[in-house]
Structure 1
Amino acid sequence: MKVFEALARWLAETAETPLFGVVGDANAYLVDDFKHRFGGAYVAAASENGAVLMAMGAAMVSGGTGFATVTHGPALTNCVTALAEAVKSNTPLVLLSGAVKAADRENLQAIDQRAVVLSSGAGYERLHAPATALADLARATRRARAERRPVVLDMPADLLWEAADWRPASAHVPELPPGELTGEALDHAIGIIAAARAPVVLAGRGAIGAREALIRLAQRIDAPLATTMRAKSLFAGADHVLGIHGTVSTPAAAEALARCDCLIAFGASLNFHTTAQGAFLRDRRIIQIADRAEDLGRNATADVAILGRSEDVATTFLHWLDEAEIPGSGFTQTLPAQGLDRPPPAVARDPGPGAVDFLTTLQQLDRILPAERTLITDAGRWMVRSYAQLSVPGPLDHVTTASFGSIGLGMGAAIGAAATRRDRTAVLVCGDGGFMLGNLTEFHTATRETLDLIVVVFNDGAYGAEHIQFVEKQRDPAIALFDWPDFCTVARAFGAEALRVSSPESLAALPATLEARDRSRPFLIDVRLNPDQVAMW
C-alpha cells in the first residue's frame, strides 16, 4: 500500500462528512482511491476556497469535523480566506494540502506553505515519513477537533508514493468527563444567582447539548432564555424565550435584556455581537461557563468563570439552589411567555417601480420558504435583518459565513451543508455583490451535485454597505453601483431554475413556483431592491 492509498482508506473509514476538494498532481490519486476504491463520498469543487468553505459548512451542520483537499502552491494560497473564516468561527476541519518535492527547488508552485497557513490562524501539521503518515493525519484531525479550528496537513508529493503499512490511528478527542462543581466558585455563583432579581440564561454554540438542563435551570430561577447567533433556535418551543442576545435582539427582547442584573452564560464567548458592543454586560453580574479554559475570559471578564460541561454545571446549580431553598427571582412573571423572540411586523415602504420592499419581503420569505430548512447566510448590509427575521428549526440548521467580514463565502458553505444533510432543503441568502464576488464560482457545483438548494439574492445593484456610506456623506455612490447580468438567465445557463421577484404580484406567485420546483437542482430567487430604499427598521 502506498501512502496516498493509506490516507484515502483512513479518510473513508473515519470522516463523518464528505470530502470536498479540487484535484491536482499532489492529491489526485488520493481522491480517486478515496471515492472509487474505498467508497468515500466526494464532492468536486470549482475552486479551492470553495472546497474549504464546503468542509466548513459540513462541519457546522453535522457538529463534527469537515475534510477538504487541494494540491500545492496557488491551490493553498487560494484557501486563505476560507481558512480565516473557519478560524474565526471556531469550526474544526482538516485540509489535506499537497506540497512540492523538497528537492524540486525550482518548481513554479514552491512556496513556504507553513507561513501561509499560520498567517490565516489555522494550525499546521506535516506528513513526516511513510511510517508516520496515518499518525500525522490522525494528529491533525485530533488538533482540529480539540482546538476547534482548521488544521492543514502538508503532504510532500514524493512521500505519497512511498510504501506504507496500514496502521489504524485514532483521532478521538475525549470530552470533559461528567463532574460535580464544588468550592469557592460554586458558592460565589449561587450567591450571585440568589441575589438576582432579573437573571437571564444565555446559551452559545458550546451549550447546544444541554438544552433541557438549561431550561430547567431557567424555570427554577424565573429567568428568560437567550442564545447567541450560533445557537439560534436552541430553545424553540419553550416559554420566555428572548431569541438572539445582542445586536439583532428583537425590541421586546432588548427591553427585557436591559433589565437584566445577572447573566449566566453557558458555552458563549461573549463577543461584541452577543453583548451589543458591551451594552448588555454593563451593570450586571456575569457567570461564564465553558468546557475549555481558553474560552473563559476571552472577550469579557466574568465575576465567576467556571470550567465544566454546561449540563453538569446547570444541574449542580439546580441542586444547591434547592438545597438552600432559594426562591425564584420572579423576573419571568413580568414577561409574556411567548412572542419575545418574534420581530414586530414590518411597515411596508414604497420602493419605486421594479423593486419590492426589503423588510416586508423578508418576513414573507420566512413564511414562504420550506420550514424544515438549513439556512446559510452570506455577508452584506441585508444580513443583520435576515439574522433576526429568518427562522430555523435548531442551531445545527444555521450556517453563518460572516466571521471574517467577507462577502461571497455562502455558496461553498451551502453546498457543504446540503451535501451533508440531504434530508432537507438548504436556503442560501446572499447579496448581489456576494453572489458575483464568490458565490457564482460554485453555483454549477450545486447543480452538478443535484442539491436541493434555494438561493435568495437580495439584488440592489450595489455594494450596499459602501453605497450607504457614500450617501450619508453626501457623495456620489456611482462607484458602488453595478449593472449586473440578469441573474435568472445566468442561473438557467448553469442548469438551475429561477424566478425574479420585483413586484408584489411576482412575490405572490413564489409559493406555487417553489412547490412545483425540481428539488434535484438549485432554484434562484432574484429579489430586486432599490439601493436607495433598503430600510433596515
Structure 2
Amino acid sequence: MSMAQDSGAKRIVQALRRAGVDCVFGLPGTQNVPLFEALRGSGLRLVVATNELSAAMMANGYFRASGRPGVLLTIPGPGFTWALTGLAEAALDSAAILHLTNAPAQAPGQRFQLQAIGQSAMAAPVTRKIVAIDHADTAANGIAEAWQACLAGEPGPVLVQVARGVWEQSASGDAGSPMQPAGQRVDSGDVDAVAAALAQASHCVLLLGQGCAGAATAATHLAERLSAAVVTTTSGRGVVAEDHPLSLGFALAGNNAETLNRLIEASDLVLAIGCKFSHNGARGFRLKLPPEKLIHVDASPEVLAANYPARWAIRADAPAFMTALLQRLGPDFAPSAGYTADAVTTWRERCRAEKLRDLVEPRIHGVPSGKPEAFFAALGRALPRESHLVTDSGRHQELARRHYPVLGARGLITPTNLQSMGFAIGAAIGAKLADPGRPVVALIGDGGLAMSGLELLAAVRERIDLVVIVFVDGILGAIRDQQIERYGHASGTVLPELDCAALAQAIGVRHVRLQADPETTLRAAIEAPGVTLVEVAVGDTLPMHWTRMKGAAKSMLGPRGKAWLRKLSGRA
C-alpha cells in the first residue's frame, strides 16, 4: 500500500484500478483536466465520446454486457446535464454506473458561480446514492463507497461529486486496499422453504430476469432439475438459451400476456428470480400473478415490496440463491410431475399463434420473402451463439424482440424501461469493450442514426470490430405506425433523407447495402475487421396501408364509425 504524497486525482484513479476498472468513458473539460492527466499513463483505457450522453450509454452497455460497473467522467454543469438521460436509462434498467464529476462551484458571498446548478437535486431521482469527496485523503474511501453502492441490491447509477481543488490537493496516509465485493448471505431457512414448496408443486414456471444474467449455467440446471417452463423478462432473455426444450423465452417475446397468464393458471407455482416486474417486465402490468403462487427472489427490498405481492418475498442475490437451491435440492430431486419438452412445445405453439395474431409489419428489402422474421433468422444464423445484439428504441427493436432468438445470457441489450433513442451505438461500443471476445451488432433506425451516428467516430478511433445495422425508411416508424392506426395520417415523423454511404465514407467505416442473400451479407460484415455499416431498406406492406385506411375512417367517423369497423373486422 502506497504511503506517497499523491494528488486527489491520482488517488481516485488508483481506487478505480483497485476496483478492477479497465476502461472509463467521458469527456475532458476545464474542471477535470487534472483527472485526465492522472489517467494518462495509468493503464486505464480512456474512451472519449462525442458527447456525455453517448458516454453514459457506453457505460450502460459496458455493464449490461459484463455485469461490471461502467465508469462515466463528465464536467459539472453542461456535461452533467447532458449525461442525465443516460443516468435515467441506467436507473430504470438496473445498470450500475459510477458517474464521476465536480461538485458545483461555490464561495461565501459569491452567488451565481460559473456552470453551478443543483446537481444533487437533479440526480437524486435517477441515482442510488450521491457521494461527496471533499478532500484528497478521503478520495479512495469515497470511490469504494460509491462502488459498493452501485452494486448493492438492485444495481444502478451512483453520482460522485468531487469538491473544487481536490484533484490537485496532496493526499497523505494510506492509498487504500483492494476492494472486496459485498456479498449477500443466503438464508438457509428460505432455501429450505422454497425447496419444500417445489417438492409439492406439480408444475412450476421459472421466471428469470436480468439479475440471473451472471448465472446462466445455474439457471439452466435449475430449470432442468425442476422440469419448469422457463419465461424471461426482456433483459433476462438468453439466461436459458431460447432453443432449450424448456424455454418459452422466444415464444413469449414481446408484451403479449394472454397465453402466459393461461400458463400461470395451469401451474401451481411461479418462481421469479432477479426480476423487478417493471412496466415492460410485467407486460404493461397485464401479467396476472396470484400471490399464493408467487415466490419472488431479488436482491432489492424495494423491488420485493413493489407491484406483485408474493407468498414468499426473499431478499437474496439471484446467482447465490440459485446455487444454494440447487445444492439443497440435490441431483436426485424429481418434481411430482413437471413440464415435459412436449408440453412446452404445445405451449410454444400457442404463444406463437398469439404473437403472430393480427401482425402488421413492414417489408425488409433484400430479404427474398421480405418478412422481418426471415431477416432475423438470417442474422441469428450469421452470429455465433455467444453474441450481443444491441438495439435502439423504435420499431426495429419491436421486430428484434419478436423475431430474434437469444441463445446466450446478455445476448439482447435494449433500452428497456426508459426507451432512449440514441442508445444503441454507444451501448454497443461499451459492450464490445467489456466483452471483446463476443461479436457485437448494433441495430438502429435511421432516426436513431441521425441522433447518434457520429459516435461511430469513437468506434473507429478505438479500433474495435463492430457491425451497425440501420433500418432506413425515412420515418420515425414506431410513432408513425401509432399515428396512422389512430388517425390515418402522420405528423412530424418524416425524416430528412440520410445518405448512409456518404456518412460511412466521411467517418471512415465500411458501408454495405443489403440487396440479396442476407445471411451471406451479414456474416461477411460480422467477420470483417473494423466497423461496418449495413444499410437495410424498409418499406410499407399492404396490411400497413389497410391500417392507414382504417385509422382515417376511425378519425372521420367517430365512435359509431369505430364500432362499425370493429363489427366489420369481427371484433364486435
3-state SS in 2 of match to 1:456 = strand
Tell me the alpha carbon deviations over residues 25-80 of structure 1, each in whole angstroms, 9 at most, x when there is no partner: 122221232232x2211111110111111111111212111111111211101011
Structure 1: give runs of 5+ residues left out of the alignment: none
Aligned-residue sequence identity (percent) comes to 24
SS of 1:527 mapped into structure 2: strand
One-letter identity of the residue aligned with 2:416: A
User: Partner residue of 2:103?
Assistant: 99
Partner of 2:307: 299
Greater mean alpha carbon deviation, residues 409-418 or residues 298-307: 298-307
SS of the equivalent of 1:241 reads: coil
Using a 3 Å threshold, how does the CA distance of structure 1 residues 60 and 304 change in structure 2: closer, same or farther? same
Residue 332 of structure 1: aligned partner:
340
Task: Name the CA distance, whole Å, in 2 between partners of 1:324 and 1:427.
Answer: 41
CA distance in 1, matches of 2:418, 2:237: 19
Say yes or no: does 1:452 pair with 2:462. no
Distance between the aligned counterparts of 2:284 and 2:238, measured in 1? Answer: 22
Look up the SS of the partner of 2:131 in the other structure: strand
Does 1:118 pair with 2:118? Answer: no
Specify which of 32, 37, 56 is matched with residue 32 of structure 1.
37
Aligned to 2:172: 165
Distance between the aligned counterparts of 1:215 and 1:434, measured in 2?
A: 35
Show CA shifts across 1:353-385 (max 9, x none): 899543322322222345542221211122122
| SS of aligned partner of 1:490 | helix
Match of 2:273 among 266, 273, 291: 266
Quote how far apart the aligned CAs of 1:432 are.
1.4
Residue 145 of structure 1 aligns with which residue?
151
Q: TM-score, normalised by structure 2?
A: 0.82
Q: Which ranges in structure 2 are unaligned for 5 or more consecutive residues? A: 1-5, 545-572
Specify the SS of the correspondent of 1:488. Answer: helix
Please tell me the residue identity of whatever aligns with 1:360: A
* Matched letter for residue 248 of structure 2: L
Q: Map of 1:75-224 to 2, 5 A cutoff?
A: 75-103=79-107, 105-147=111-153, 148-165=155-172, 167-169=174-176, 171-181=179-189, 187=193, 189=194, 192-193=197-198, 196-224=201-229
Tell me, in whole angstroms, the C-alpha distance in 1 between the residues paired with 2:447 and 2:11. Answer: 42
Deviation at 1:396?
Answer: 3.1
1:74-104 per-residue CA deviation (whole Å, 9 max, x = no partner) reads 1101011000001011111111112354236
Among residues 285, 296, 315, which one is paired with 1:288 in the alignment?
296
SS in 1 for 2:470: strand
Distance 1:167 1:329, change over 3 A: same
Asked whether the equivalents of residues 378 and 410 of structure 1 are also in contact (C-alpha less than 8 Å), the reply is yes
Is 1:495 matched with 2:508? Answer: yes
5 Å matches for 1:473-492?
Answer: 473-492=486-505
Amino acid at match of 2:14: R
Q: Is the 8 A contact 2:69 2:98 kept in 1?
A: yes
Rounded Cα–Cα distance in structure 2 between residues aligned with 1:479 and 1:460: 14
Alignment of 1:334-349 (within 5 A): 334-335=342-343, 340=348
Counterpart AA for 1:110: A
Distance 1:142 1:509, change over 3 A: closer
Say yes or no: does 1:417 pair with 2:434.
no
Distance in 2, matches of 1:350 and 1:289, equals 40
Q: Distance in 1 between matches of 2:462 and 2:47?
A: 8
Contact 2:422 / 2:448 at 8 angstroms: preserved in 1? yes
**TM-superposed deviation, 1:334:** 4.8
Q: Retained in 1: the 8 A contact 2:129–2:159?
A: yes
TM-score, structure 1 length as denominator? 0.86
Task: Tell me, yes or no, if structure 1 residue 43 matches structure 2 residue 56.
Answer: no
Secondary structure class of the residue paired with 1:167: coil
Measure the CA separation in 2 of the matches of 1:323 and 1:29.
56
Deviation at 1:477, TM superposition (A): 1.4
